[in-house]
Amino acid sequence: SQQGEEDPQALSIQEGENATMNCSYKTSINNLQWYRQNSGRGLVHLILIRSNEREKHSGRLRVTLDTSKKSSSLLITASRAADTASYFCATVDRGSTLGRLYFGRGTQLTVWP
């Protein structure tokens, strides 16, 4: 079964605006990862945030993690048309030795020029 659930399912914005996507999960985690998938392509890893971290940055990306609320958010600042893609959060359960990733259904982001 899938672990993370992204919200919203779809998001449409103009270039230059910020995009915020949220992810909620149900179990205790070791880490949470965000991936991007362009149409017809494989997934690309964006950021990994560990359970003892609260915030991470990578370029125009900012990820927060609130383990008390079992939620994470991905912020893309100054969005570009090239950011149009599906964004997935994936979790690794705490104590997992195999490190299985549980993906949500994703948020489809459309950035209009």
Q: Which residues bind other proteins (CB under 8 A)?
A: 2, 4, 30-31, 33, 35, 40-45, 48, 88, 90, 92, 96-101, 103-106
In the complex, minimum distance from the CB of residue 49 to other proteins, in angstroms, rounded to a whole number: 12
Taking the complex as a whole, the smallest distance from the CB of residue 101 to other proteins amounts, in Å, to 7
* Residues 85, 109 contacting (CB under 8 angstroms): yes
Helices (H) and strands (E) in the chain, counts: 0, 11
Residue closer to other proteins by CB (options 29, 76) is: 29
State how far the Cα of 97 lies from the Cα of 78, in Å rounded to an integer. 38
CB of 52 to other proteins, least distance (A): 13
Q: Which is nearer to other proteins, 42 or 113 (CB)?
A: 42
Q: Which is nearer to other proteins, 15 or 92 (CB)?
A: 92
Beta-strand runs (E) in 67-112: 71-76, 85-93, 101-103, 107-112
Looking at the Cβ atoms of 22 and 30, the one nearer to other proteins is 30
CA 15 to chain centre: 20
- Write down the least CB distance from residue 15 to other proteins, Å: 26
Task: Let me know the angle formed at the C-alpha of 62 by 60 and 65, rounded to the nearest 5 degrees.
Answer: 170
